[in-house]
Amino acid sequence: MEQKFCQSCGMPLTDDLLGTNADGSKNEDYCMYCFQQGKFLQDCTMDEMIEWCAQFVDEVNKGLPQPITREEYVAQMKKYFPQLKRWRRDSF
């Protein structure tokens, strides 16, 4: 099965972490930390989201064979986030 990722913060999605639509149904694109009841929980820019996510680099490092620094993580997110549905310029 293909791993899905939150299209706002990039977190791996599992059924128990899915956000919800306005009608209460599960949203397949966003996690519960970014999207609930059909609305984004954070009114932020992509760069602000990256800075918020960077605080979790220690958690990310638990799943990596070689730890990365916060700066490396931020650099990776700056390349990855523009590909996510919420941040793509063509989705406006």
Tokens found for residue 81 = 């986030």
- Indicate if the pLDDT at residue 92 is higher than 50: no
Q: Return the number of other C-beta atoms located less than 10 Å from residue 13's C-beta.
A: 20
Looking at the structure of the chain, the number of domains it has is 1
**Residue 83 covered by a domain:** yes
Q: What is the pLDDT of residue 91?
A: 47
Query: Angle 46-54/70-80 helices, nearest 10 degrees?
Result: 150
Give the pLDDT confidence of 10-68 residue by residue, as tens digits: 999 999 999 999 999 999 999 999 999 999 999 999 999 999 999 999 999 998 999 99
Q: What is the pLDDT of residue 1?
A: 64
**Residue 72 covered by a domain:** yes
Domain with 23, as residue range(s), is: 4-87
**Residue 17 covered by a domain:** yes
Q: Are 6 and 29 in contact (CB under 8 A)?
A: yes
**Residue 92 covered by a domain:** no
**Residue 25 covered by a domain:** yes
